[in-house]
Amino acid sequence: MTQPRPSFDLSGKVAVVTGGNRGIGRAIALGLAHAGAAVAILARNATRNAQVEAELERIGQPTHADILDVTDRATLAPAIANVERALGPIDILVNNAGNTDISGGVLQQSEEGWDNAIATHLTATLLLSKAAAASMQQRGRGKIINLASMYSIFGAGALPSYAAAKGAIVQLTKSMAIELAPHGIQVNAIAPGWIATEMTQVARDDPDWSEFNAMLMARTPAGRWGEPEECAGAAVFLASASADFVTGVTLPVDGGYSIF
């Protein structure tokens, strides 16, 4: 008899989402909770954290929120330990926290901006994954989901630090996937396309960016901006038992932008 296929049910799982208090991170946090997971959000703004924590509580799952600046290396492993004390062993880590440094190009790139981008996107992903994977390894299972970008693939003349960090995320994802697969841990990435968030609002609404916006829409077969919630489904899939044989993958959620 054919065995039932795994489902997307995350009941009994504990998930952590960095930068989970707005935009794509918030959508993923809510999506994981709707799928049954207890969710912890780690982000810098206490007010936003409380707002999303209240949304998670209304879904009916256990929740936890801590203030965390992912560039503060010394606080990363303790933050993972705090979540485990509050909710239990971590099954799912979503490395979502990010920012942009629109320097205008390498000739204008500051060392401070470069260091911050690498620390925020790349170093934090490594160190948080290291802490979570040590716990996951003890139980022989776990899911790590990293947030990549279209700029992991394409050049970004005005954002060299961001593009370099996001490009490295793809390679780090593959490297961790190889190492951790024997321990039952799958490591994958999501590469959002042009998603309607606060971070991209200027490109959507500012008349000075109208030509750029038109170019993006012409390049996107779906012909529109994506919604943050459209990244949540990819995260739930990668976090679920349905993706137990999927690892080292970078999954575009981009309306077809990367096809061209």
Q: Model-level pTM greater than 0.85?
A: yes
Respond yes or no: is residue 162 known to be catalytic. yes
Q: Which amino acid is at 127?
A: L
Taking only the tens place, the pLDDT of each residue in 39-61 is: 999 999 999 999 999 999 999 99
Q: Could you tell me if 122 and 137 are in contact, meaning their C-beta atoms sit under 8 angstroms apart? A: no
Helix (H, G, I), strand (E, B) or coil at 128: helix
User: Of 162, 194, 225, 257, which one is the catalytic site residue?
Assistant: 162
Q: What spatial distance separates the first Cα and last Cα of the chain, rounded to whole Å?
A: 43
- Return the H-helix or E-strand segment holding 191: strand 185-192
In angstroms, the CA 203 to CA 130 distance is 35
Residues with Cβ < 8 Å from 147, sequence gap 6 or more?
A: 24, 94, 95, 96, 98, 169, 189, 190, 192
User: Would the pLDDT of 1 be above 50?
Assistant: no
Please state, in angstroms and rounded to a whole number, the distance separating the CA atoms of residues 36 and 13. 7
* CA–CA dist 136, 154 (Å, integer): 33
Domains of the chain with bracketed CATH? 14-254 (3.40.50.720)
Q: Is the pLDDT of residue 191 over 70?
A: yes
The model's confidence at residue 67, banded by pLDDT at 50, 70 and 90, is very high
Contact 54, 71 (CB under 8 A): no
Is the pLDDT higher at 93 or at 154? 93
Name the pLDDT band for 3 (thresholds 50, 70, 90): low
